[in-house]
């Protein structure tokens, strides 16, 4: 067991578990990034509720939300890390794991600070329905992300996370990866969004997404309706173009906005300590 507060030891153990030859594209990284995002993406600025503080996905009401289908895999990957470092809260562990995964997959280093606490029961969980629905368009995307306090530029930068991982028919209903190398963080998602003539595709389940067959690789790539909305909305498109052209600008903007996402709802004093820990406490709840 590590000493309380030894986050370097935790980061090392997270980095060591990313390599999962039997899982998806060989990495736990993408699903860990999605866990971090869904833990934070429930934030509502107006009521100051939701967000990563609390680790509400440990409870059925949030963890069993169809929007969170598949994220139990991410939580299971992290259990040995929690057992080795029982002093870390789940809310800190999930957010830290997302940051470590991004960096280990070739992305930028995301500034991260600890101090989140875990709910002691399920009385403070955010309601379901706060996470985005991929079947919808630009208005919906704005509605969801403006609620968290993000602007159009930040929405597009955050969406660059779709460089990573894939859709699973048995989780979201959508199917496939956005890029050919889904365990390598880059701006390829934006470049493909603009470069390719995306075609409608209806899956056997009736779900509609977009597809492109890479003739050279014989591989099929996909986009969600919400991804295509970023290309087709004039204000979003400006940022899609910017990030497609300049990887460094994307990395810089992504760093800031992902760090902001991980902090939603946290109030810190000047020394960085989290102040809003009422009704929550740290501790091991399995
Ligand atoms: Zn995603 N995302 N996402 N996303 N996402 C999926 C997968 C991943 C949307 C969405 O509906 C989906 C952000 C924004 C939005 C990741 C990160 C981030 C999947 C596939 C869907 C359907 C899930 C499955 O079947 O396993 C929508 C509608 C979004 C906004 C409009 C933001 C913001 C993210 C992080 C910053 C990641 C990494 C994945 C891949 C997960 C995996 O298991 O491979």
Q: Which residues contact 125 (CB under 8 A, 6 or more apart)?
A: 54, 56, 59, 61, 62, 119
Does the pLDDT value for residue 120 go beyond 50? yes
Q: Count other C-beta atoms under 10 Å from residue 194's C-beta.
A: 13
CATH fold match for the domains 7-131+258-281 and 138-253: no
> Ligand 1 centre and the CA of 34: distance in Å?
6
The CATH fold assigned to 138-253 is Peroxidase; domain 2 (1.10.420)
Residues within 6 Å of ligand 1 by CB? 30-31, 33-34, 37, 70, 132, 134, 141, 158-159, 161-162, 164-168, 171-172, 174, 224, 226, 258
**Whole-number pLDDT of residue 6:** 97
Please give the Cα distance from 26 to 183 (Å, whole number). Answer: 8
What's the pLDDT tens digit per position in 150-201?
999 999 999 999 999 999 999 999 999 999 999 999 999 999 999 999 999 9
What's the pLDDT tens digit per position in 209-231?
999 998 877 789 999 999 999 99
Domain edges within the chain? 7-131+258-281, 138-253
| Catalytic residue IDs | 38, 178
Q: Any idea what the Cα angle at residue 39 is, between residues 92 and 111, rounded to 5°?
A: 50
Q: Which atom of ligand 1 is nearest to the CA of 164?
A: 38
Q: Which residues contact 31 (CB under 8 A, 6 or more apart)?
A: 24, 70, 71, 73, 74, 77, 165
> Ligand 1 centre and the CA of 151: distance in Å?
18
Query: Where does 42-89 have alpha helices with state H?
Result: 60-63, 71-84
The CATH fold assigned to 7-131+258-281 is Peroxidase; domain 1 (1.10.520)
Please give the Cα distance from 245 to 163 (Å, whole number). Answer: 15
β-pairing verdict for 208-214 and 199-202: antiparallel
pLDDT-based confidence at residue 280 (cuts at 50, 70, 90) = low
């Amino acid at each position: 067991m590590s000493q309380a507060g030894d986050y370097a030891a935790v980061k090392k153990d997270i980095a060591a578990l990313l390599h999962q030859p039997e899982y998806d594209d060989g990495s736990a990284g993408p699903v860990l990034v999605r866990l971090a995002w869904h833990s934070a993406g429930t934030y509502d600025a107006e009521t100051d509720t939701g967000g990563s503080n609390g680790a509400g996905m440990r409870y059925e009401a949030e963890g069993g939300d169809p929007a969170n289908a598949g994220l139990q895999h991410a939580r299971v990957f992290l259990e040995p890390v929690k057992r080795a470092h029982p002093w870390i809260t789940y809310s800190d562990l999930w957010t830290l794991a997302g940051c470590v995964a991004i960096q280990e997959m070739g992305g930028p280093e995301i500034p991260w600070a600890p101090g989140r606490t875990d709910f002691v029961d399920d009385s403070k969980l955010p309601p379901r329905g706060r996470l985005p629905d991929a079947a919808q368009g630009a208005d919906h995307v704005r509605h969801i992300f403006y609620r968290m306090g993000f602007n159009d530029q930040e929405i597009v930068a955050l969406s660059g996370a779709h460089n990573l991982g894939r859709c699973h028919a048995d989780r979201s209903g959508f199917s496939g990866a956005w890029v050919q190398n889904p365990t390598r963080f880059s701006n390829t998602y934006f470049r493909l969004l603009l470069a390719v003539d995306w075609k409608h595709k209806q899956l056997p389940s009736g779900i509609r997404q977009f597809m492109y067959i890479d003739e050279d690789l014989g591989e099929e790539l996909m986009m969600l309706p919400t991804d295509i909305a970023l290309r087709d909305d004039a204000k979003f498109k400006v940022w899609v173009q910017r990030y497609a052209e300049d990887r460094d600008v994307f990395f810089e903007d992504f760093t800031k906005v992902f760090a902001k996402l991980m902090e939603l709802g946290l109030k810190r004093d000047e020394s960085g300590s989290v102040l809003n820990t009422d009704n929550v406490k740290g501790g091991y709840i399995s």
